[in-house]
Structure 1
Amino acid sequence: MLLLRLAQRALAAPRPRMVNPALLALLRPASKVLAVLVGRGFRKWWQALPKHKKQILIDHLRRNRVRYAVGSGVAATAGVVYYHNHVTVAPYTGRHRFMLLTTDQLFSMAGQLYQMEMEQYAHLMVPEHHPMLERVQRVGNRLLQANNTLPELYTKVWTVSVIDDPTMNCFVLPSGDIVMFTGMMDALENDDQVAAVLAHEMSHAILDHAAEHLNRGYLLDLVVLVPVALIWAVLPSDLLAVASHWLFNLVVKLFLTLPYSRLLETEADYLGLRLAAKACYDVREFSALWGKMDVLEKIMDKNGQGAEVPAWLSTHPTNEDRQRELEGQMAEALDLRTSCKCPPLTPRDPREPIRRLQRGVAQEDPQVTPVAIPLQKPLPPPAARIGTVTAS
């Protein structure tokens, strides 16, 4: 099978000077431990300090409060300047984001991660001419060909592998390696829905979301060092410090980490819808797919087979929220599809059956039965082969 390595080229926008990712990976856990040790050590020292010496230190701080305030202001200003020097603009969405590492720096790391994943699933990879693999290749090639003016496509080596596993998942690495699971393929009824999943995952790579997610984590870790140290320094016992530290981490996760993750997913949906529109796929299937997932989730919840995770506790928007968000962008996507001189869509709107099912489930209609998910042909014996998506 032809393997076309897309030539890597630098993007036009200048990038700030970045740091070594391996160094950051080493410092990240070490800094958290250091903050705890420093805070706890200060508390133990202060508790053991005689009362008159505590008063001497307090008086010293009062006399020099202006000097310490100025020093803190200078440090804060330096931090703000450093932050703004590493802010870039996300392509196609215009969102400003902090980028300490670039996808180029993560490319070799992604290659190592890909090899680790493939070693784990080597015995489950479908053979080269398997219908599922050929289908994903066909759809992936069409998406790449239709969007081949995007410069970000040429910084990747686009490949695709299909894993014989019932997990409903698909992911893409910063290098462009797409991994699809047969469990997800079983839930997709046509090429348009395959395009919905692939375009979303490819958008993550195009928008450098993997690098951004790591950058966000590094920034948060740096920002929370002072509060963590203060928790361990101010609270009178280790037990209180542990409980407060856990609560602080929970607050950071609920109000900073999870909302940001959901933002990236919504952004990938936004770009993916437009990639598929330019490739002349039926973009109405995007909404229909997430509507179907919403129906399945609610039916399983009512049958006691699962519980719907609240949006504020999830890394992804709910299926219903994704459907609603995509519906709000549908008119623009359909206009883009028309401007690309795509063939007219069929009169049958794939969203209508799903809407009826959703209304029936919401009203607890006893006539509503679970959505039938079409299954693909039985898998042949697995083989460790990789299919490749190409573009020109």
Structure 2
Amino acid sequence: MTHQFKMGEMFDGALLANAPRVRLSRRGIIMGLAAGSVFPFVSGCTTNAATGDSQLLLFGDDQIASMAATAWADTKAQTPQTSNSKLKSRVLSIWDRTINGAVKEGHINPGTQWDVAVFDTDDVNAFVMPGNRVGVYRGITELTENDDQLSSVLGHETGHVVGKHAAERMSVSTAAQVGLMAGQIAVASSDELSKYGSAIGALGGAAIQFGVILPYSRKHELQADRLGVDYMHQAGYDVKQSVRLWELMDSQSKGQRPPEFMSTHPDPVRRAEELRSYINARGYALI
């Protein structure tokens, strides 16, 4: 059976599904725009110490961890967990070693507690949820050829945590909703444009989806790939296997992927190429 590898799929959907929806009246938004309060992201940007990137963060770690708690509990209740003690021990051992690499990088505090679940399904996937909750499916452990490749998967998930990607993606989604609603109000207020309101509204929604949300998602995936390689290197794993992993994923998912601009994840070929360049540039190996 062929699977498409969508590392972080639960990360993408579970939290954003619970993102706050903007429910302001037309008058409220107009007043908020006048007061400068509708767009709190002006003062919501911060610099991520690990990546050096400026991020829009309207939500704190505790807030998003609380939002994800129910989704995590539901996932554990509805999805069988492995009874294979050897498999679980292997995953936890690789996880601990990879996390120690992140600790050595100074990106994770020593003694940080994690809830790691190994699910007994064929899904070729792994994900992380806010609150240090990590899910690994049996399918991905069977698809990877060695511990180094599985470390690449787990390092990638750690990179999502360090990059604060869940909080940033929720913040961008919320800000985009406000921007779209403000645009719709402007259209409705124009005698000329109001005739085309529904069409313009649809175009605005598509522009946000394809021009803001999905590019942010792909950026996060590539950043998590690079951070994962850093942690692999610090942990003593073979970083070249991260490239091999995406070559495998490309061969497994050919004909199943949408065009990259329509996807939350970059094309596997691009991921392999970017990791190869990153590993060479960092001097971790020569590929």
Normalising by structure 2, we get a TM-score of 0.82
Percent identity at matched positions? 25
3-state DSSP class of the match of 1:165? coil
**CA deviation string 1:235-254 (max 9, x = no partner):** 67988433321221011111
- Give the corresponding residue for 2:62: 104
Q: Which residue of 1 aligns with 2:169?
A: 213
Runs (5+) with no aligned partner, structure 1: 1-23, 40-70, 338-348, 352-392
Q: Is 2:153 the counterpart of 1:160?
A: no
Per the alignment, in what secondary structure is the counterpart of residue 152 of structure 1? Answer: coil
Give a deviation string over 1:18-67, Cα, whole Å, max 9, x none. xxxxxx955x2423xx45x999xxxxxxxxxxxxxxxxxxxxxxxxxxxx
Name stretches of at least 5 consecutive residues in structure 2 with no aligned partner: 1-17
Residue of structure 1 in register with 2:186 after alignment: 230
Identify which of 76, 96, 103 aligns with 1:118. Answer: 76
Question: How big is the shift at 1:230?
Answer: 2.3
Q: Secondary structure at the match of 1:224?
A: helix
- Cα deviation, 1:345-374, whole Å, max 9, x if unaligned, reads xxxx9x8xxxxxxxxxxxxxxxxxxxxxxx
Provide the alpha-carbon RMSD of the alignment.
3.1
Aligned to 2:214: 258
Which residue of structure 2 lines up, in the alignment, with residue 136 of structure 1?
Answer: 91
The 8 Å contact of residues 277 and 283 in structure 1, kept in 2 or not, is answered as yes
Shift of 1:160: 1.3
Instruction: Note if contact 1:269-1:326 (Cα within 8 Å) is conserved in structure 2.
Output: yes
4+ residue segments displaced more than 6 Å: 71-74, 235-239
Structure 2 residue matching 1:148: 3-state secondary structure: helix
TM-superposed CA distance for 1:154, in Å, is: 5.2
Does residue 95 (structure 1) correspond to residue 53 (structure 2)? The answer is yes
**Residues 195 and 29 of structure 1, relative CA distance in 2, 3 Å threshold:** same
Moved more, 236-245 or 83-92: 236-245
Q: CA deviation at 1:84?
A: 4.0
Q: Which amino acid aligns with 2:87?
A: M
Q: Does structure 2 retain, via aligned residues, the 8 Å contact 1:157–1:175?
A: no
The answer on whether the counterparts of 2:22 and 2:174 sit within 8 Å (CA) in structure 1 is: no
Q: Distance in 2 between matches of 1:79 and 1:72?
A: 5
Q: How does 1:20-31 map to 2 (within 5 A)?
A: 28-31=21-24
Cross-structure match for 1:325: 274
CA separation of 1:25 and 1:164: change in aligned 2, threshold 3 A? closer
Secondary structure at the residue paired with 2:46? Answer: strand
Say which SS state the counterpart of residue 108 (structure 2) adopts: helix
Instruction: State the shift of 1:330 in Å.
Output: 1.2
TM-score (ref. length: structure 1):
0.62
Aligned residues: 269
